[in-house]
Amino acid sequence: VKNMISKDIRDISFVLRRGEILGLAGLMGAGRTELARLIFGADWYRSGKIYRNSREVRIRSTSDAVANGISYLSEDRKGNGLAIDLSVADNVALPNWDEFTRGIVINFNRMEEAVETVTKSVSVKTPSIGQLVRNLSGGNQQKVVIAKWLLKNSEIFIFDEPTRGIDIGAKKMILDSLMKLNKEKGVTVIITSSELAELRSVCNRIAIVTEGRIAGILRSDDKDYKFGLLMSGSKLVDADEEAI
């Protein structure tokens, strides 16, 4: 991402490395979610460029992002990520209908087999894929969102506050699933969170966002005082200059 500017974002540039988990940390309103939505094409940016594998790509809509292998998991999973009155199978299959249809004919056997496989791969706990999503726990609802994008063969996952509003046990389950995706399937991840400790437990590097800018990018094992300085808006001379 190079020189991205929008109503809420002030000239942000950073590098996302293949196969890493990059955290976006910062206080509420700092610009974390706004940046994630811009990358996914959910909101418009005034200027800036996005590159994928060193090639500039045009992302001006969510369809553009999906076509470039980018998926987005909203912090509002019920409002933006799921159709809670539909089944697990329907939710996972919705963005993937082209895989199971030929003309007006839907191959339901193939669809169910694919949904069963992908939901098991992320350990969705449900009596069956016919279960209504509204009847699942918060953690399992989030896993259904992950499953639908995995089936779409997304390579870059943007998780926006994935553990907000779920209990401690479910939080661990989601973070474990995220790390499993990264290690076993090789997906690259951006995760936003207001909980710095949570990011430090799963991320390779963490970008500190303050007032619509990236103050710096640190390794997860860097000293606490460095995170404190960046969160306060100060600049470190040994922050990740390549990425900013």
CA–CA dist 230, 227 (Å, integer): 5
| Max CA distance (Å), the chain | 60
Average the pLDDT over 174-188 and give the result. Answer: 83
pLDDT classification of 74: cutoffs 50, 70, 90: confident
Q: How confident is the model at residue 244 (pLDDT cuts 50, 70, 90)?
A: very low
Angle separating helix axes 168-185 and 138-151, nearest 10 degrees: 20
Q: Computed from CA positions of residues 59, 139, 88, 183, in that sequence, does the dihedral angle turn out positive or negative?
A: positive
Contact 13, 217 (CB under 8 A): no
Cα separation, 95 vs 44, whole angstroms: 22
Residue 180: the pLDDT is 81
pLDDT tens, residue by residue, 13-53: 999 999 999 999 988 888 999 999 999 999 999 999 999 99
241 pLDDT exceeds 60?
A: no
Q: How far apart are CA 100 and CA 156, in angstroms?
A: 23
Give pLDDT tens digits for 137-170.
888 888 898 888 888 878 898 988 887 777 777 7
Q: Which residues pair with 49 in a beta bridge?
A: 2
- In angstroms, the CA 32 to CA 131 distance is 34
Q: Which letter does DSSP use for residue 52 in this model?
A: E
* 146 CA to centre of own chain: 9
Quote the mean pLDDT of the chain.
86
Cβ neighbour number for residue 140 with a 10 Å cutoff: 22
DSSP-assigned beta bridge partners for residue 159: 73, 191
Q: What is the pTM of this model?
A: 0.82
Instruction: Assess whether pLDDT exceeds 50 at residue 58.
Output: yes
User: Which of 16-20, 102-106, 125-129 is the least confident region?
Assistant: 102-106
Rounded to an integer, what distance in angstroms lies between the CA atom of residue 67 and that of residue 132?
A: 28
Residue 190 has pLDDT above 70, yes or no: yes
